[in-house]
Structure 1
């Protein structure tokens, strides 16, 4: 008779323990973020866009802005072509010089 009582107690205790473990696993998944929950449609809040604060344009600049010098497009193209070819030649010579000295 006693063994039957222990079996019933053990069965009920194991069932209760199983239920507790399963519910705690659910809470653990929610706490760690493994279980995704959809947001409530009424709890979603839209954020305001960014605004420039008043008086922002009046603030002093730490870096002076250089004045732009206007040149004709032909002169600018000649300077860019000359500069790019000189720079390419100089870069090539820097990389080749160590091999020429050997």
Structure 2
């Protein structure tokens, strides 16, 4: 179970369905061999795993409640803001992951 933030679970589910649907259609129509269906798990399970991992991390950061958090979080964010190239890199990675734009197949 993961947070519904940004609709990532819904988007991933639709990507899963689309991935399987076009493969099934190609096999049924005779445009591809049945072995194509075997690629589904190899392609989609890692995507779900990354989604759950990133959601777990984000949830842990939001729920962080200890003695160090009130000092570490603002300090870390101010360092990130000061280092613009690093800030852009982190923002790009976060947004690409949340939007699904980082998804690609070999």
TM-score of the aligned structures, taking structure 2 as reference length: 0.27
TM-score of the aligned structures, taking structure 1 as reference length: 0.28
Question: Larger helix proportion, structure 1 or 2?
Answer: 2
Larger radius of gyration: 1
- Which structure's relative contact order is higher, taking Cα pairs within 8 Å and 6+ residues apart? 2
